[in-house]
Amino acid sequence: MKVAVVGATGLVGTKMLQVLSERNFPLTELIPVASARSVGQVVSYQGQNYTVVSMEDAISKQPDIAIFSAGGSTSLEWAPHFAAAGATVIDNSSAWRMDPEKKLVVPEVNGHVLEKTDKIIANPNCSTIQMVVALNPLHKAYGIKRIVVSTYQSVTGTGKNAVDQLIGERNNTAHNKVYPHVIDMNVLPHIDSFLANGYTKEEMKMVNETKKIMGDDSIRITATTVRVPVMGGHSESVNVEFEKDFDLDEVKNLLANSPGVVLQDDPANNVYPMPIHSHDRDEVFVGRIRRDESQENTLNMWIVSDNLRKGAATNAVQIAECLLEKELV
């Protein structure tokens, strides 16, 4: 089992190597891949050093699986070449997510849709992944009519330069400026670029991807995505209206027994999800569960997850594990 990690020296690529190692993914050969300026660098994996190779060299090695985290333009250019060489590509960018011929997969929600003919598989947006993991069991039980979500997203979602900006502002040291405004001690209601409808691309990703993953275009969704000065973990305030009424204890029981979900809902003892506690964890944490008293059949909840792990690297590795389990590679 040869596995190529494309973008191996980046923030998410480094996390992918960590997750592959931690989960003891059964690879026999690791092929770290990066841009021309990073070729020749050395990365460590399970105590061994591996030299970063070019796209062409990686393709010539004929990997079975190629996990991409190198940006949309790189994926659009190179993923088809890897697929043509026989690899199954799992892509972390937005390049293929809304392609009607490509699957958009969160294993706990729709891993069953994967087939042997899927040669390019899309990994969803980080904020979408954690929300659908939490909402899917409730959708099955009560039928979701409408979702209103506001996010509180870590700077790690933008990448290493954004982390450097936050640290530089906090310490008054030299740094790259990624955001149009100061991020330390501030909140930016602006993730990705603005569209003609006044929403950002990030907000529309949550709308469109959620419908595709859950296989239900009837769900109405509106989102406001916000960048906060946190270095790991995305948080979401979610208001969800259901077709049917629900019992709060039953809701909590459903969540507590759902794959990939950890219930943290004991406000009397100050127990609720926080990004600082989700760091380097693979689960989606859910709490602050309460009935919306202003509208029938409506629930408020708070969802937190490590955006570099379940929101990116871990979900991609779980897709690879799903492929192996179903003998699709």
The residues assigned a catalytic role are 126, 234
Cβ–Cβ under 8 Å, residues 154 and 163 = no
Beta bridge partners, 321, equal: none
Helix (H, G, I), strand (E, B) or coil at 315: helix
Count other C-beta atoms under 10 Å from residue 25's C-beta: 18
Contacts of 296 (CB under 8 A, 6+ apart): 245
Residue type at position 69: S
Strand pairing class (298-305; 284-291): antiparallel
Distances (CA, A) of 310 to 232, 243, 277, 313: 12, 29, 14, 6
Contacts of 226 (CB under 8 A, 6+ apart): 150, 151, 152, 153, 187, 188, 189, 190, 191
The C-alpha atoms of residue 102 and residue 97 are separated, in whole angstroms, by 7
The C-alpha atoms of residue 119 and residue 115 are separated, in whole angstroms, by 9
